[in-house]
Structure 1
Amino acid sequence: MTKQRWHFKDGLHLISIYEGINYFQKTVDELKPRIKDQYYFFDERFFEYAILEYFYFYHINTVVIDKSVIDQVGGFDEDLMACEDTDFLLRVFIDFKVCFIRDYHFIYHHGDDNIYAFLDRKNINVDMLSTDRSTLDKMTKIELCKIKVRTQGRDMFNKFRRDNNHTEVVSLINESIADKLFTLGYLNRKLYKQDALGYYLRSIKLDFTWPKFVYLGRIIFPGLFNKIKVKDPNLNLW
């Protein structure tokens, strides 16, 4: 279990607390693992659940894995600048069952050296982000890693799992990938129009909606599509 604290840079003022135990309880309620004392034994459905919930119910710093398992799944993908832990654990969970110990194992302090240190994630100004080339470039690289890992998770699920709700799971994963792609398109629409066009098209291919088509049109035929009113975009920045 994890407890994560958000601090100002001086490390003194507590802003909020993230209770990993709440996410874990949700997992227990839905998957109903076998329980013995503080030990929770999950079955093969955990892999599917891990994909859908994006690992918000535990932290890699609390995971103990036998070295032979690490060797068997190929270790971490060092080409990824983000989400290498998610990618690694997906490959573990697809082949091995897991046991959770219900207790806090560490306190995680988000400091100046984390991957999002360049960005105030609690007070993101999308308009400023879309015109700040340096910040936008970093954000785009991180989000592309997330898209890659979610795509790999979907492909692994397609290859190894054929559960009763297989179609629903794949659809949900595709929607999450499409949301990420649309977000990248929206953020890049001012400085990198060609890239934004590609992100929009990939998003529409996975999950078509009329607002997405309008935002795509605003790049190709701005004079026409800027006159069409659609709701503000629902961006996935996490």
Structure 2
Amino acid sequence: MNPNPLVSVIMPAFNRARTLPAAIASVQEQSYGNWELIVVDDRSTDTTRKVVGELAASDSRIQYISNKRAKGVGGARNSGMLHAKGDLIAFLDSDDVWLPFHLEETLRMMQDTDTDVGFALWLERQGDRLIDPFEEAHQQERLRALKRSFHSHSEDIVVMHNGLFERYVKDTLCIFHINTMVFKREKLQPGGMFLEDFHIGEDTAFMINFFDHCRISLQMKPHSIYHLSPDSLYFFIDRREIDPDRLHLDKQALQKLEQAGLQALAFKQFLRQKIAACDWHDRKRLLLLSSYTLARQYYTLSYIHRFEKRKALRYCLQSMKHNVNLFNLLLMCYILFSVKKSNNFLRRPIDLW
């Protein structure tokens, strides 16, 4: 790999005039300087164009392009990739930031490990709190298990190749983030662009295209800060603090969670189709696991809507379509007989994530 390659940084933006300066500054503050930043405006109605234009006037590495029609975050990233000139491509969302060493350390890791794609972990900001989601015991064990399964290049770096997609499916391996992804543009598969009709999971659907086709390295320390903001489609609320038995009292949050849940289901159906196309020896078991995951998601939608009988019944039937179990059978009874009191047993399968 060229020791000093041009990195094309793609930043989709929609009405992010307020957060763009910090995001762009985090790119300008990188210790690695050979980059171009392509900000893709997805038909914003605020002052996004003006903000980017002022910053680009003082830094020729910054470019502004605007979509002729709104394409969503996936389509905006596609537009950016089509304009990219770099040998490497990286992504950063317009309300998040990189730590100053991200590009330098990722490129060094990719060179040292001879890998095609580099990832790192991240931190999450919820209001004034900065959270390390990988400090939790189960996440630490997951990372240790990953190092045992693949090649540990060093204490903090693991290299993965064959079997990564299967491992991702089995372990719900949520350790890859689009904001830390850097890849060789030559490794982009035909038809492997972002799916524009996905609004949740479009980043994961894109990233898993590289699994098992490329050598992938992961730096097990944070390289970026992901903001869980109120205007995010998925992370608009801290799900750790949600009481599912009181959620019906907040109609706005309930409606947004329903929308996010349905978008997540669309991605999980897509993932199921990819599993069905694999020739793994335990594919049947993984399809059963996928069915249970879909059933659990529909169950969650049914539970949080149980005070709206018709909608709750519809979601409960969808849950039973994928996997009939004691939980959705009992929930069906609770809905039919209008039982309003909470039930700790019925709360157990709820998955608001």
TM-score, length-scaled by structure 1: 0.80
Work out whether 1:156 is the aligned partner of 2:279: no
Instruction: Output aligned runs, 1:211-222, within 5 Å.
Output: 211-219=327-335, 221-222=336-337
In the TM superposition, 1:113-128 aligns within 5 A as 113-116=231-234, 118-128=236-246
Q: 1:70 to 1:130 in 2, by over 3 A?
A: farther
Q: Which residue of 2 aligns with 1:175?
A: 292
Question: For residues 101-120 of structure 1, what are the structure 2 equivalents within 5 Å?
Answer: 101-104=218-221, 106-112=223-229, 113-116=231-234, 118-120=236-238
Where in structure 2 are the equivalents of 1:1-238 lying within 5 Å?
1-7=120-126, 9=127, 11=128, 13-14=129-130, 16-19=131-134, 22=140, 23-29=142-148, 32-36=149-153, 40-70=158-188, 72-93=190-211, 96-104=213-221, 106-112=223-229, 113-116=231-234, 118-159=236-277, 161-191=278-308, 193-219=309-335, 221-222=336-337, 231-234=345-348, 235-238=350-353
* Closer, same or farther: CA 237–48 of 1 in aligned 2, 3 Å: same
SS of alignment partner, residue 345 of structure 2:
coil
SS at match of 2:279: coil
In the alignment of these two chains, the number of paired residues is 226
Aligned residue for 1:119, secondary structure, equals coil
Query: Counterparts of 1:226 and 1:147 in 2: how far apart (Å)?
Result: 27
In structure 2, what is the Cα distance between the partners aligned to 1:139 and 1:226?
21
Distance 1:142 1:111, change over 3 A: closer
Say which SS state the counterpart of residue 224 (structure 2) adopts: strand
**Structure 2: how far apart are the matches of 1:71 and 1:50?**
19
Q: Which residue of 1 aligns with 2:48?
A: none
Counterpart Cα distance in 1 of 2:344 and 2:239: 26
Q: 1:202 to 1:83 in 2, by over 3 A?
A: same
User: Which has the higher Rg, Structure 1 or Structure 2?
Assistant: 2
Q: Distance in 2 between matches of 1:103 and 1:189?
A: 41
Check whether the contact 1:131–1:190 (CA below 8 A) recurs between aligned residues. Answer: no
Following TM superposition, by how much is the alpha carbon of 1:152 offset from its aligned partner in structure 2, in angstroms?
1.2
The 1:101–1:17 alpha-carbon spacing in structure 2 relative to 1, beyond 3 Å, is: closer
What is the CA–CA distance in structure 2 between the aligned matches of 1:141 and 1:59, rounded to whole Å?
22
Higher relative contact order (CA 8 A, sep 6+): 1
Q: Give the match's secondary structure for 1:4.
A: strand
Larger % of strand: which? 2
Q: Give SS of 1:202's match.
A: helix
* C-alpha deviation, 1:36, in angstroms: 4.3
Deviation for aligned residue 1:184: 0.5
Q: How far is the alpha carbon of 1:71 from its aligned partner?
A: 5.8
1:117, 1:33 → 2: CA distance? 31
Distance 1:86 1:58 in 2: 8
Conservation of the 8 A alpha-carbon contact between 2:180 and 2:223: yes
For the structure 1 residues 54 and 146, does the alpha-carbon distance in structure 2 shift closer, same or farther, using more than 3 Å as the test?
Answer: farther
By how many angstroms is 1:237 displaced? 0.9
| Offset at residue 118 of structure 1 (A) | 3.6
CA-based RMSD: 2.9
Q: Tell me, in whole angstroms, the C-alpha distance in 2 between the residues paired with 1:146 and 1:171.
A: 18
Number of the residue aligned with 2:38: none
* 1:73 counterpart SS class: coil
Q: Residues 101 and 133 of structure 1: is their aligned pair in 2 closer, same or farther, counting only changes over 3 Å?
A: closer
What amino acid sits opposite 1:213 in the alignment? Answer: L
Gaps of 5+ in 1: none
Distance 1:153 1:164, change over 3 A: same
Go from structure 1 to structure 2 and tell me whether the alpha carbon gap of 1:145 and 1:52 turns closer, same or farther (over 3 Å shift): farther
Deviation (angstroms), 1:236:
0.6
Q: Secondary structure at the match of 1:107?
A: strand
Shift of 1:69: 4.3
The structure with the largest helix share of the pair is 1
Runs of 5+ in structure 2 lacking a partner? 1-119
